[in-house]
């Protein structure tokens, strides 16, 4: 009885933290920071790109800045970039993509501010070892309630991590592998077990080595997976290039007016749904609701996850990592999410009534035929695996903050306990049915959404610091990088 009431309450909170009010506060804050930064992400876009070539500064942190960026990118780009974006287009219509684009644009400013704060409020030894760094360390700077907010953030983050960062991801990797196996006539159950065991070993090898090894692995995996998916998407666009202008017009129309589409559009590929006829309709409200939500939850701007890793990167100026953060959101939302979104629209697959990964698969099948399971399956596996690696670190930073900084337990054993728990959880999530974990996953999902509250409060209270640092870095970029 009590448990049922608790579960009901958890779902109620979940609706708030992943629903309309969160969307309003997150996008509103991103827009406000964009104005306060004078549209820095647009005016300095060239600098944002050039900054990615910075060679790092020994003694200014633990890990090369590009490697840290790759690790964060690995966490940000996840299954949601394929399945989530497809669902957003299915539920919000083509117009959702326009609002997703705007969300990415404003999210760049929000991410830049939180990452800059993460670097500014860390503590570094003269040899570059980061003694304290991550989101809770800037949240605790908020007057009066800062220490409570920081402890709450850390608690939410380490509850969220095993669910959304580990078990959901290993389940997705296993699903992706079993999907590819089944498509080519192999036993999906054996594929799941094999993947579960291999994933456990591979994750242990990486995660037990801490942030350095995670970043090292991400440096190889992330550029490969991004190139793989982007090239596949661009190839699809080329094959359907004749529909490109119509696609853009449909996206803009759907963003501002209710859109009605005949299901017969699906006949482009001789889909059986075409025979069923009927219409599909999307309201402007749905386009905003699902487009903004997917954009925000994909790039994680405002959730406070990324500063937990950026804080360990080599840096010579906090604004520099802020610029890395902006490029991360650009790649995630304005490039990879758009690849998925435009692909499902340009092929006409969005009118089939499918959602999630099957919708993306339908779009890629229309371009690549029997190769589609391989293309989407490999992308799903890599997107999920890199998320699993970096979230181990996000969780560890907050686990250590909560148990060792707040409750004063010894740090080294607590780090190892966390890493061992992380590795143990992978296999059951890969091989068992989702039904066994669904309540825990939803609980973790709720905790993930709750991370936004303390983080956003800190972001706005400390925004003047980040704005001054970002403006100073933009002004002195050439001098600093020479």
Partner 1 sequence: MVELAISQDIGKLVVWCAVVLLFALFVFSIAFIQQEVRFSDEEVAKAKRDRISGEVFGNLVYHVFFIGLILVLGVIGYVAIYSKSREYTITSEPGELAS
Q: Footprint of partner 1 on residues 117-156 (CB under 8 A)?
A: 119-126, 130-133, 142-146
**What is the smallest separation between the CB atom of 369 and partner 1, expressed in angstroms?**
32
Nearer to partner 1, 148 or 268 (CB): 148
Nearer to partner 1, 94 or 377 (CB): 94
Told to check if 88 binds partner 1 by CB under 8 A, we report no
Dist CA 224 CA 164 (whole Å) = 23
Told to check if 31 binds partner 1 by CB under 8 A, we report yes
Told to check if 281 binds partner 1 by CB under 8 A, we report yes
Kindly tell me which residue out of 18, 40, 41, 61 binds partner 1, with binding defined by CB under 8 A.
61
Told to check if 14 binds partner 1 by CB under 8 A, we report no
Nearer to partner 1, 75 or 130 (CB): 130
Task: Let me know: does 380 contact 216? Beta carbons within 8 Å.
Answer: no
Dist CA 102 CA 97 (whole Å) = 9
Number of alpha carbons in the 13 Å side-chain half-sphere of residue 381:
22
**Residues from 439 through 478 that contact partner 1 (CB under 8 A):** 453, 456-458, 460-461, 463-465, 467-469, 472-473, 476
Which residues neighbour 463 within 8 Å (Cβ) at sequence distance 6 or greater? Answer: 33, 36, 113
Dist CA 449 CA 456 (whole Å) = 11
Nearer to partner 1, 21 or 223 (CB): 21
**What is the smallest separation between the CB atom of 330 and partner 1, expressed in angstroms?**
22
**What is the smallest separation between the CB atom of 11 and partner 1, expressed in angstroms?**
13
β-partners of residue 313 are 63
β-partners of residue 280 are 261
**What is the smallest separation between the CB atom of 471 and partner 1, expressed in angstroms?**
9
Number of residues engaging partner 1 in binding (CB under 8 A): 73
Which residues neighbour 142 within 8 Å (Cβ) at sequence distance 6 or greater? Answer: 149, 457, 458, 461, 462
β-partners of residue 282 are 259
Strands 130-132 and 259-262, by their bridges, are unpaired
**What is the smallest separation between the CB atom of 161 and partner 1, expressed in angstroms?**
23
**Angle at which helices 284-299 and 83-92 cross, to 10°:** 170
* Contact string (CB under 8 A) for partner 1, positions 282-321, x = contact: xxxxx-xx---------------------x---xxxxxxx
**What is the smallest separation between the CB atom of 379 and partner 1, expressed in angstroms?**
31
Report in angstroms the alpha-carbon separations of 453 from 22, 116, 459. 9, 18, 10
Nearer to partner 1, 38 or 428 (CB): 38
């Amino acid at each position: 009885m009590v448990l049922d009431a608790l579960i009901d309450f958890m779902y109620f909170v979940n609706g708030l933290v992943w629903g309309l009010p969160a969307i309003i506060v997150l996008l509103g804050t991103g827009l406000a920071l964009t104005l306060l930064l004078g549209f820095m992400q647009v005016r300095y876009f060239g600098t944002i790109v050039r900054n990615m070539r910075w060679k790092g500064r020994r003694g200014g942190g633990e890990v090369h800045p590009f490697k840290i960026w790759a690790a964060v990118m690995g966490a940000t780009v996840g299954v949601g970039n394929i399945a989530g974006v497809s669902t957003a287009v299915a539920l919000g219509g083509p117009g959702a993509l326009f609002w997703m684009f705007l969300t990415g644009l404003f999210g760049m400013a929000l991410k830049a501010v939180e990452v800059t704060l993460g670097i500014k409020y860390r503590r570094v030894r003269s040899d570059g070892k980061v003694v304290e760094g991550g989101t809770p360390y800037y949240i605790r700077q908020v007057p009066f309630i800062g220490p409570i907010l920081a402890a709450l953030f850390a608690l939410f983050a380490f509850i969220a991590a095993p669910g959304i960062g580990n078990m959901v991801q290993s389940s997705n990797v296993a699903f992706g592998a079993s999907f590819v196996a089944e498509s080519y006539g192999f036993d999906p159950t054996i594929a799941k077990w094999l993947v579960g065991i291999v994933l456990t070993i591979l994750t242990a090898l990486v995660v037990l080595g801490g942030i350095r090894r995670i970043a090292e692995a991400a440096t190889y995996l992330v550029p490969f997976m991004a190139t793989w998916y982007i090239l596949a998407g661009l190839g699809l666009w080329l094959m359907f290039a004749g529909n490109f202008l119509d696609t853009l017009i449909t996206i803009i129309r759907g963003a501002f007016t209710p859109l009605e589409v005949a299901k017969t559009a699906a006949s482009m590929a001789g889909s059986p749904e075409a025979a069923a006829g009927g219409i599909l309709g999307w309201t402007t409200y749905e386009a905003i609701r699902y487009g903004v939500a997917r954009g925000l939850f994909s790039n994680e701007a405002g959730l406070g996850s990324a500063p937990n890793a950026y804080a360990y990167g080599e840096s010579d100026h906090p604004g520099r990592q802020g610029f890395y953060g902006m490029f991360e959101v650009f790649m995630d939302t304005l490039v990879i999410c758009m690849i998925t979104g435009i692909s499902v629209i340009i092929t006409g697959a969005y009118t089939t009534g499918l959602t999630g990964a099957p919708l993306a698969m339908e779009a890629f099948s229309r371009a690549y035929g029997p190769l589609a399971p391989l293309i989407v399956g490999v992308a799903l596996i890599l997107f999920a695996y890199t998320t699993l690696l970096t979230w181990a670190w996000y969780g560890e930073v907050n686990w250590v903050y909560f148990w060792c900084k707040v409750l004063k337990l010894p740090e080294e054993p607590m780090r190892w306990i966390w890493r061992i728990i992380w590795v143990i959880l992978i296999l059951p999530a890969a091989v068992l049915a989702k039904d066994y974990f669904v309540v825990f996953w939803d609980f973790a999902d709720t905790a993930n959404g709750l991370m936004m509250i303390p983080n956003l409060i800190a972001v706005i209270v400390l925004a003047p610091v980040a704005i001054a640092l970002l403006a100073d870095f933009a002004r002195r970029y050439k001098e600093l990088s020479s």
